[in-house]
Structure 1
Amino acid sequence: MTIFTTQISLLLLILLSITTFHKTVCSNHTLVRCNEKDRETLLTFKEGINDSFGMISSWSIEKDCCSWEGVYCDNITSRVTEIDLKGHTFHESVKLLKGEMNLYILELEFLSYLDLSFNEFDVIRIPSIQHNFTHSSNLLFLDLSFNYSPTLHMDNLQWLSSLSSLKYLNLGGVFGVDLHKVTNWFEVVTSLPSLLELQLSRCNLNNFPSVEFLNLSSIVSLDLSSNNFTFHLPDGFFNLTKDITYLDLAMNNIYGEIPSSLLNLPNLRQLDLSSNMLSGFIPLTLGNLSSLNLLSIGSNNFSGEISKLTFSKLSSLDSLDLSNSNFVFQFDLDWVPPFQLSYLSLSNTNQGPNFPSWIYTQKSLFDLRLWSSGILLVDRNKFTNLIERIRGVLFLSNNSISEDISNLTLSCSLLHLDHNNFTGGLPNISPMTNHVDVSFNSFSGSIPHSWKNLSELKELNLWSNRLSGEVLAHLSASNQLQFLNLGENEFSGTIPIKMSQNLYLVILRANKFEGTIPQQLFNLSYLFHLDLAHNKLSGSFPHCIYNLTNMVTFHFYSYYVNTIELFTKGQEYVYDVKPDRRTIDLSSNSLSGELPLELFHLVQVQTLNLSHNNFVGTIPKDIGCMKNMESLDLSSNKFYGEIPQTMSILTFLGYLNLSYNNFDGKIPIGTQLQSFNASSYIGNPKLCGAPLNNCTAEEESKNATQSTRNEDSESIRESLYLGMGVGFAVGFWGICGSLFLIRKWRHAYFQFINRVGDKLYVTLIVKLNRKDVAKSITQFCDPNKGDLQELNQTEDYVDSQLSCDNDEREPPLSFFY
């Protein structure tokens, strides 16, 4: 009985649990079901969107809108409360919205959070002022920033006035909302009674209100950076609010001195006044801002001294930027700051000749920027301990540091030691390193073994050192590599077939690389700068289907900008890498053979240098397709024939060198080709015409005749090939089509083929052994006949036997497939 009771109790418990679970599931399903009015509002918003990346592909009428991507509903009221459609472009994952941003979405009466930032909307539809919203807004958070379309404009902000509950507003962004036509922006945003955080950076604002009209008493975070404000910083500016914690006015045109009212902000934690035109001295009372954790006042016109008194009470300071300043830094050698920084920038300031000793005390540095600071001497032990601790960014470029750091293992993600005097071998670096620039130093030896594991490496610049060995074999794991500059070293070996498909710049100039140029190098679709000059490369120019998309069609990519040496127009330039500059330089090698036509279809190339090789052949007329060409050097090769007339249409050509070849005939007449002096054409004995000596009458006649003959020959050849192709196609399909469709013809054709084949076979055997074969055939075909006496009789007999073939014989149907 007890067992039975227990079983019944257990069964009831299970049933109760199932019932409860079912009710819970049903209840939850009911609770999150989308409100119909909200659904209609969301679908109206969707109508104008170009969702090419499938970001809101789940927004369909078949699904509950509370389950749509980026849509969140209240569990009790079932009303939409949050929409998060922030775009992103992380690695291979891209999610962006384009098209129309319809602010009718603000009709969602329970909406408290809306994020449409980092997309590519190109139109904003703003509800009319007369329309207004039909409810009292509950919106607390609104972020429309960083929409990257240059056509995105907003003519008014009046629609904001009804968002009385708004606490956070962000309309900033590069190529984002352009508010330069909005004259009342300040009146509108200050009318929002609950607003605490205002982000209007990069909005092209240029009309900053007078201080007497400022009313920011509720604001705790204000970002007006990167606009076009030009105004004097008034003394009462920092009296606007006592509660502000974040103030960013960087990258404007603000002038004047820092007013004393700055000291009236006891809660200020982050202050950025960098990249303006502020002047005067830094008040010592700045050190009274004890809550400050970020101070950025670099790139201004400040003067005077900076000493430990300036930072005496800034114990919370975490980030300090004094770069691009004329301060006189007066720090005692034994000074230990009251703070521990994670970020420090003293770039382009006068710190040298000794490395600032107080920086050695910073144990938490993640990002250190000290380029162009006049540093010559370091405390070796303290210096090595310091740079080995840094995990983020280490910029020591453009100093004169002479140290051997070959025994160190550096763990920073961005390493820039270029333009110094570092000696010895290269240091070991972390597998997580992204960018390495150690160019213009005196590093020697081979690439460390640890560099084989650099799977995250995107930029490598080793230009102008004394490095040697087979470097490219060490980079096989660097599949993310985009920028590769190994120029002016002593590297050797061959160019590997397998290289990163993300490369957009390859410089192997002035080394000892040998072997052929792999075809795979011309299948890098992002590549726009290729420099293999001054090596020992041999073989012919790769003949393959080029996939150099960036040299055929202009594409804009956001590349990491760096400075390289560019050799063009007969001289050396230094310029920042930009995706609108296309270069191919294979000069001073031992390359040979004719140039492929595919080369001249790279119409975006601006610099082409193939000089000092052994190339042969004529220059095809297709060179006229390269209409963006600015610098062309084919000198010191073995090219021959006439200079094609199409070269005269290269209107951007600023440098030309065709000297020391075997060109003949007259230089084509055209403003472009006659603008160069004789040095561009010398070393071609049979070449004439301006700017060289005039052609004789005989040469003129010969050139005209030869030109006409070449054109006629080419025309005849093209017509011949075309006729042959058409004739072959017609004949082939005429015969094959008839055989396939007409059964009787098909039988006759294969009977004929069989007879001819058998006859040829037997005749061959007969020729090899006349008597034996004759006798064998006779006995086999007609046993009653004796030996044949004459070969002709044998052949006649064979013919008669072949005519006995079965007329119905036909090849299998599979023959036609």
Structure 2
Amino acid sequence: MGLTGTIPPQFGNLSFLVSLDLSYNNFQGELPPEFTRLLRLRAIDLSFNFLSGQTPQLLGDLEDLRMLSLENNSFSGFIPSSISKMKNLEFLNLKYNNLEGNIPIEIATLQRLKQLQRLGLSSNMLSGELPRSISECAQLQVLLLFQNNIVGTIPREVGNLLLLQYLDLGQNRLEGTIPDEIGHLHNLKELRMEQNALTGSIPLIIFNISSLEVLSMWNNQLEGPLPKKVGNLTMLNILDLANNTLTGVIPDEVGNLQELVGLTLYLNNFSGSIPIGISNISTLRAISLTNNHISGKLPSTIGKGLPNVEGIYLFENNINGVLPCSISNLSKLAVLELGGNVQFLSL
């Protein structure tokens, strides 16, 4: 059940309070302005409640604050520019609210937050362009902006965030090409840019980020081949480039991705045969190459090196030949889609 009701204004009398955690309860209503009396506060966590109203400008008076999390509430209005006064802030999490406003106007002053390491603004209604001044947050390790209405191009200055490990720009309205400078983020573990309107090819330099575990760019307008350098991403768990206009053959080097769990390339224009190396990635759980122009036979070894595969999706291609006997060894296989391959013969 958790605690209910509103947060009492008497909290403002707790003048020696250093940390306040009321997360995962059922508090509702607005934040009492008395909060701003708690000048010793270093951490506030009010996430996962039903709080509403605008985020008070006076929060900026809490200049010693290191952590502020208001995730998963119903806060509305603009992100208060006074947050930039929190010069010691390391963690700012405002995800899953109803915040709005033009990003350059409301949070361009984040460049003053020299200590900021994590910034979560996902799942709001933020608009405008991603401010170039974000590059001034040199300590930033996590930047989460997915599911907003951010427009324009990806600023090249993002490539200056050399400590960045997680970058999520998915489900916005970004357009233009992916800047080469993203390839300078050598500590990056997750790069998500899905469901935008990005064009051009994937910069080759991105395939030098050997620390990448997730590369997700599905549902854009990307074109060109998948380069052989994809084989450099040996830590990759998820490769999702579905629903673009990528062409050429799927390189054999995909077989180097021995940590891969999901290979999702459906709704592209890939041609050629399925690389034999794919059938030796023992960690794979799902292979989705549906709606391409894949031809040739299924690798005869497909049932020998995929002990964990649960789904194989090859619908609507040009695969021919017969179903290899080895496929009967796939003990975890739950879904096998081979329809729409008119030249394919059953076993």
1:465 is matched with which residue?
A: 124
Counterpart mapping for 1:649-660 below 5 A: 649-660=280-291
1:394 is matched with which residue?
A: 44
User: Cα gap change, 1:677/1:602 in structure 2, threshold over 3 Å: closer, same or farther?
Assistant: closer
Letter of the 1:615 counterpart: L
Aligned counterpart in structure 1 of residue 244 of structure 2, from 604, 608, 613: 613
Distance 2:102 2:341 in 1: 57
Letter of the 2:34 counterpart: K
Is 1:682 the counterpart of 2:318 in the alignment? no
1:435 is matched with which residue?
A: 91
Letter of the 1:359 counterpart: F
Is 1:544 the counterpart of 2:205 in the alignment? yes
2:137 is matched with which residue?
A: 478
CA contact (8 A) 1:524 1:547 kept: no
Secondary structure of residue in 1 paired with 2:211: helix
Identity %: 28
Q: State the TM-score, normalizing by the size of structure 2.
A: 0.84
Aligned counterpart in structure 2 of residue 404 of structure 1, from 39, 47, 54: 54
Is 1:496 the counterpart of 2:155 in the alignment? yes
CA contact (8 A) 1:406 1:424 kept: no
Q: Which has the larger radius of gyration?
A: 1
Higher normalized helix content (fraction of residues) = 1
**Which stretches in structure 1 are left out of the alignment for 5+ residues?**
1-348, 552-581, 701-817
Letter of the 2:70 counterpart: L
Counterpart mapping for 1:76-115 below 5 A: none
Secondary structure of residue in 1 paired with 2:5: coil
Distance 1:516 1:617 in 2: 20
CA contact (8 A) 2:193 2:216 kept: yes
2:76 is matched with which residue?
A: 423
Aligned counterpart in structure 2 of residue 371 of structure 1, from 23, 33, 49: 23
**Which stretches in structure 2 are left out of the alignment for 5+ residues?**
324-335
CA contact (8 A) 2:319 2:341 kept: no
Distance 1:667 1:386 in 2: 68
CA contact (8 A) 1:507 1:530 kept: yes
Distance 1:646 1:379 in 2: 57
> Any idea what the Cα deviations from partners look like across 1:767-810, whole Å, max 9, x if unmatched?
xxxxxxxxxxxxxxxxxxxxxxxxxxxxxxxxxxxxxxxxxxxx
> Any idea what the Cα deviations from partners look like across 1:459-511, whole Å, max 9, x if unmatched?
00011111111124231211111001001111112212223000011001100
Distance 2:121 2:245 in 1: 29
Aligned counterpart in structure 1 of residue 232 of structure 2, from 590, 594, 601: 601
Secondary structure of residue in 2 paired with 1:398: coil
Distance 1:426 1:483 in 2: 18
Secondary structure of residue in 1 paired with 2:247: strand
1:514 is matched with which residue?
A: 175
Distance 1:694 1:442 in 2: 44
CA contact (8 A) 1:393 1:414 kept: yes
Letter of the 1:443 counterpart: L
User: Cα gap change, 1:406/1:615 in structure 2, threshold over 3 Å: closer, same or farther?
Assistant: farther
Calculate the aligned-residue CA RMSD, in Å.
2.6
Counterpart mapping for 1:766-805 below 5 A: none
Provide the aligned length of Structure 1 versus Structure 2. Answer: 318
Could you tell me how far 1:350 is from its partner in structure 2?
4.0
Distance 2:265 2:147 in 1: 23
Distance 1:694 1:507 in 2: 35
Letter of the 2:245 counterpart: N
Secondary structure of residue in 2 paired with 1:664: strand
Higher normalized strand content (fraction of residues) = 2
Could you tell me how far 1:694 is from its partner in structure 2?
12
User: Cα gap change, 1:595/1:351 in structure 2, threshold over 3 Å: closer, same or farther?
Assistant: same
Letter of the 1:420 counterpart: N
User: Cα gap change, 1:406/1:639 in structure 2, threshold over 3 Å: closer, same or farther?
Assistant: farther
Could you tell me how far 1:609 is from its partner in structure 2?
0.2
Counterpart mapping for 1:230-249 below 5 A: none
Secondary structure of residue in 1 paired with 2:6: coil
Could you tell me how far 1:364 is from its partner in structure 2?
3.2
Could you tell me how far 1:647 is from its partner in structure 2?
1.0
Secondary structure of residue in 2 paired with 1:371: coil
User: Cα gap change, 1:443/1:536 in structure 2, threshold over 3 Å: closer, same or farther?
Assistant: same
CA contact (8 A) 2:7 2:32 kept: no
Could you tell me how far 1:604 is from its partner in structure 2?
1.0
Could you tell me how far 1:665 is from its partner in structure 2?
1.1
Counterpart mapping for 1:199-348 below 5 A: none
Distance 2:206 2:147 in 1: 30
User: Cα gap change, 1:405/1:379 in structure 2, threshold over 3 Å: closer, same or farther?
Assistant: closer
1:445 is matched with which residue?
A: 101
